[in-house]
């Protein structure tokens, strides 16, 4: 093919084609850079959103943990108070049960004068002082306690009649005798079952 174009015109056409090709490459590069920037910006926004969501979720979790801890502390305090109340109630109930058993074991015509009863004295010898209307009533205390089986090693340490030799009062009159003039002291060892009811003993 014979080129009839002048050399100068041919150079311009060649340069124009070269410039068009460079322009296409440049446009393609700009588009590629734009896509890269878009992808980077989108990724950055997503990461920031995720980070903020994580921070918010972490704060909510910390708040929930704090609330749970507060509720747990209240529950522990409530449980502790219940245990203390139950302990006090059981202690009062046990002593009431023990006194009822002792009173039930006493024969007619007698009454307790003094008794040192506690959980620490159970199983150890203690002194029980009982007032009675007559010596026969006083002596019956030992037999009655043995039948009730609430104590062991029961022995009489003393037996005396009160106001038998009572001194005269300032007016010269003798003291009035008490309704329970006989005092008997016994050494007894109470069993631990004295603090439990009959129902509890059966269940045990």
Domain span holding position 9 = 1-76
pTM for the model: 0.48
Identify whether residues 111 and 189 lie together within a single domain: yes
**Total domains in the fold of the chain:** 2
Long-range contacts from 173-182, C-beta under 8 angstroms, 24+ separation: 178/131, 179/133, 180/109, 180/110, 180/111, 180/131, 180/132, 180/133, 181/131, 181/133, 182/131, 182/132, 182/133, 182/134, 182/135, 182/137, 182/138
For 119-176, what is each residue's pLDDT tens digit?
777 788 989 999 999 999 999 999 999 998 888 899 999 999 876 444 444 444 444 4
Identify whether residues 64 and 128 lie together within a single domain: no
Residue 151 lies in a domain: yes
Identify whether residues 110 and 176 lie together within a single domain: yes
Residue 98 lies in a domain: no
For 39-62, what is each residue's pLDDT tens digit?
888 888 888 888 887 777 777 777
Identify whether residues 152 and 69 lie together within a single domain: no
Residue at which a domain ends, from 56, 76, 96: 76
């Amino acid at each position: 093919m014979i080129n009839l174009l002048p050399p100068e015109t041919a150079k311009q056409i060649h340069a124009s084609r070269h410039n068009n090709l460079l322009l296409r490459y440049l446009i393609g590069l700009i588009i590629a850079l734009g896509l890269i920037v878009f992808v980077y910006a989108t990724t950055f926004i997503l990461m920031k959103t995720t980070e903020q969501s994580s921070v918010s979720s972490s704060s909510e979790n910390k708040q929930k943990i704090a609330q749970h801890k507060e509720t747990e502390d209240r529950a522990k305090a409530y449980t502790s108070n219940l245990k203390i109340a139950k302990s006090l109630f059981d202690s009062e109930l046990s002593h009431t049960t023990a006194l009822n058993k002792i009173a039930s074991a006493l024969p007619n015509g007698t009454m307790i004068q003094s008794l040192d009863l506690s959980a620490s004295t159970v199983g150890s010898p203690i002194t029980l002082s009982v007032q009675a209307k007559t010596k026969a009533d006083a002596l019956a205390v030992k037999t009655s306690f043995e039948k009730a089986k609430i104590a062991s090693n029961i022995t009489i340490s003393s037996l005396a009649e009160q106001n038998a030799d009572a001194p005269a009062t300032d007016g010269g009159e003798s003291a009035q005798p008490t309704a329970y003039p006989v005092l008997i002291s016994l050494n007894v060892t109470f069993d631990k079952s004295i603090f439990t009811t009959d129902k509890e003993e059966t269940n045990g």
